[in-house]
Structure 1
């Protein structure tokens, strides 16, 4: 069977590319090796982790904050199996919704492992061993990523686990050791800390969320430490061993002293790596870089002109929404349109509580690029809305060009930061200045007022409520 576009992989990038291509009149097929659509994000990533984060947040509030609101309840208890069951139901509904969208948009779905026969033919190897080959004028690689590890760690998927297993544990750990202080480690560490586990985060860098603005990292660590999570930054893990139901993690601190951590589970959250195994890229000559990412040009076109690649399998932040935008860009490019994507304006989010969100440049980046800038900062504690809800941790920080006042970066730690950051992204898309943002009337009382106040602080150094 021949198609205009064949998409390999049904994650956020793949299924969105398929939908957009179909909307633009293309005959589209999508290949997925698993029984459900949606890829890592929907099945073992974004969606299930947010379900557990929300459930654990409700429990944490009931235990720690209800009394302050004048709500008296019996001591709350965790029904962990029901919590996991709810998570599974949300995943099932979401994957079913993606299947509905494929049917609605007349996208043919093939279940099996897709691999290149040549530049226009893809062989689909099904679970029963049978094979089928389809043809595509253009092919999009959207196979995503898998959890990365360290070479000396043996992941047994029982006690030494990745994020995939952490989302479907049968019990709440007594002591969860998390290797890696990035987004995945902090989010899943937060889930289990709220539910009663001891959690220790071991991070090689000198701060958590090492790619984010230094002020953000410092504030988030302070808040999570207050919630009971322990941190060992500047610690390089040297060994992970399992002895029965015990996991021993050995690390070296910045003074080259050995430190030993003992727990019943160890979550290895040191990042993710592109998944290209079994694709048969060698059959068509698609080039990879040193990190095994697919090389692409500005149109997301590989070294083979009719083959494109998007999402985690190429360079850049491994984010579902980044993959979605790239899927749209490729579909529209193949339809003769002239889409664009500004990678500087792709927001990053950490769904701890408080949430963390950022878009644009960090202070360190501006310094390294020699850009003169000014800073405006406003504490969430100064907002009426934050005091009303009890969410007083965090701040909004705005970086603006010292000469032009154009907003260059926005960094938020606070309640609903994941939603608030989009105001900044829109403003920056239209090259807004700090003064522009400061002069926009914001509803009162809202969390978003912190953005207005931080913008005013960056513009003229005189926020109104601080």
Structure 2
């Protein structure tokens, strides 16, 4: 039996990063992945393919709606070649997942393909798809098995017409009418892809606003943008049933007044979040406890109820974000190595990759109100930037929340072009406990979208914004 210092079960962003960091720290490391390709949900059926489709559909929308105003005339009809779009997406995924194989080889990490399950606290059984079994032992084991799409009671996912995000990334046709259950990140991103390509899109959201976990100002602005783009948003709607009749899907829901609403479409995407995945893991054999939400229980060092076994990413509590899992993977590797790493979960950014993009870090205004915090607000609209007018991306704003006494930045929320990249400035500032005035006094290149961050900081500093 092969022996290792560390064995990682799962090769998603958390798992493969944990394996690399363990190897960098001199530990003999193994990684176990049940699928033929590494990278987990994110690289195979999540972050990477969805961004590829978002970018491709964005190019198409620009060609149809905006090229002419930029002085670009295209003779003939502009058409979507969905098969080629999917082929490009698959190519991006393939390149990215092969990159993980390269990194495993480079760092001398042994890879095993099959379902990893506990035989004991130090022994992992690996069962291949063909049923072949092999066992390895490890001093430390990291659970990084990720998550799977959640569904609602009574809704049967047939993976043909009633689908999850996985199937939505590989459709063979553009829906005529896509019904989206859930107005969160995944649903809005995929809804925007198919809306751009010509589908009618209806969003049913149980809460009274879309992207409900983000600052209310972001939800409000995003709602305006999506309505302008042609998406129908039905908020405060509780889905009662989803039925398929041939190529038609009938969704019944109740609005906030209790009235029944019926919507017919040809596809229904159920996008109501994700749940931890531990099927086949047999954690009880290693003394690892699972809580009532299906999450692996961990302490502040991400140790499970068995101290030599750790868990990271979507399978534990907290936001289900690839970069959160990566931070935890690095954290656990360094804990095992005897170091004293730290993660500030308040400073893990959150992003929605629609266009405009939405990004945030730190506290929302609603959270600060609940806490009774004494805070101030600085806002700046993207339309007031020369860079935004030059590119035509004038929707959105930057909002900075700061402590009224100390001026320390408590939260930054932004919607606009390239805010997924801009949020890193806010994370950096908050990591170093910057004040709004600190950001306001930093030079920002002109003309850039980043100037909106400076202006919002100026607005939070004695209402000193220069360009509004």
- TM-score bin (small chain): over 0.9
What does 1:92-171 align with in structure 2 at a 5 Å threshold?
92-171=94-173
Hey, what does 2:14 align to over in structure 1? 13
Q: Are 2:69 and 1:68 equivalent residues in the alignment?
A: yes
Structure 1 CA distance for aligned equivalents of residues 138 and 238 of structure 2: 47
Aligned with 2:78: secondary structure? coil
Q: Which residue of 2 aligns with 1:3?
A: 4
Partner of 1:204: 206
Corresponding residue for residue 55 of structure 2:
54
| Cα distance in 1, alignment partners of residues 443 and 106 from structure 2 | 41
Shift of 1:229: 0.6
| Equivalent position to 1:301, from 295, 300, 303 | 303
Alpha-carbon separation, structure 1, partners of 2:290 and 2:126:
22
Residue of 455, 460, 463 corresponding to 2:462: 460
Distance 1:337 1:76 in 2: 57
CA offset digits 1:192-241 (Å, max 9, x no partner): 00000000000000000000000100000100110001000000000000
Distance 2:258 2:250 in 1: 18
Deviations 1:169-199 (A, max 9, x none): 0000000000000000000000000000000
Q: Following TM superposition, by how much is the alpha carbon of 1:288 offset from its aligned partner in structure 2, in angstroms? A: 1.4
Distance 1:26 1:280 in 2: 25
Separation of aligned partners in 1, 2:372 and 2:431: 22
Quote how far apart the aligned CAs of 1:283 are. 1.2
Hey, what's the Cα distance between the residues in 1 that align with 2:291 and 2:462? Answer: 46
Corresponding residue number in structure 1 for 2:438: 436
**SS at 2:413 equivalent:** strand
Match of 1:254 among 256, 263, 287: 256
Q: Which moved more, 1:112-121 or 1:286-295?
A: 286-295
Offset at 1:22? 0.1
Count of aligned positions: 466
Shift, 1:284, TM fit: 1.7
Residue 351 in structure 1 maps to residue 353 in structure 2: yes
The equivalent of 1:78 in structure 2 is 80
Mapping 1:58-457, distance limit 5 Å: 58-74=59-75, 75-457=77-459
Using the TM superposition, give the Cα deviation of residue 105 of structure 1 relative to its aligned residue in structure 2, in angstroms.
0.2
* C-alpha distance in structure 2 between counterparts of 1:114 and 1:288, whole Å: 17
Secondary structure, counterpart of 1:132 in structure 2? strand
Summarize deviations over 1:106-137 as a string: whole Å, max 9, x none. 00000000000000000000111110000010
Shift of 1:285: 2.0
- C-alpha distance after superposition, 1:151-176 (max 9, x if no partner): 11000000000000000000000000
Distance in 1 between residues matched to 2:185 and 2:326, nearest whole Å: 19
TM-score by length of 2: 0.99
Deviates more, 1:323-332 or 1:68-77: 68-77
Unaligned runs of 5+ in 1: none
Distance 1:329 1:454 in 2: 33
What is the Cα deviation at residue 460 of structure 1? Answer: 1.3
Q: Give the CA RMSD over aligned residues.
A: 0.5
Distance in 1 separating the partners of 2:287 and 2:329: 22
Question: 3-state SS of the aligned residue for 2:240?
Answer: strand
- In structure 1, the residue matched to 2:28 is 27
Deviation >2 Å, runs of 4+: none
| Residue 35 of structure 1, CA deviation | 0.3
Secondary structure of the corresponding residue to residue 323 of structure 1: helix
How far did 1:369 drift?
1.0
Give the match for residue 36 of structure 1: 37
Instruction: Structure 2: give runs of 5+ residues left out of the alignment.
Output: none
Q: What is the deviation of 1:281? A: 0.7
Decide which moves more: 276-285 or 110-119: 276-285
Q: Provide Cα deviations, 1:51-93, integer angstroms capped at 9, x if missing partner.
A: 0000000000000111111111133110000000000000000
Give the Cα–Cα distance (whole angstroms) in 1 for the partners of residues 166 and 372 of structure 2: 41
**Secondary structure of the equivalent of 1:396?**
strand
The whole-number CA distance in structure 2 between the counterparts of 1:54 and 1:3 is: 41
- Alignment partners' CA distance in 1, 2:370 and 2:109: 46
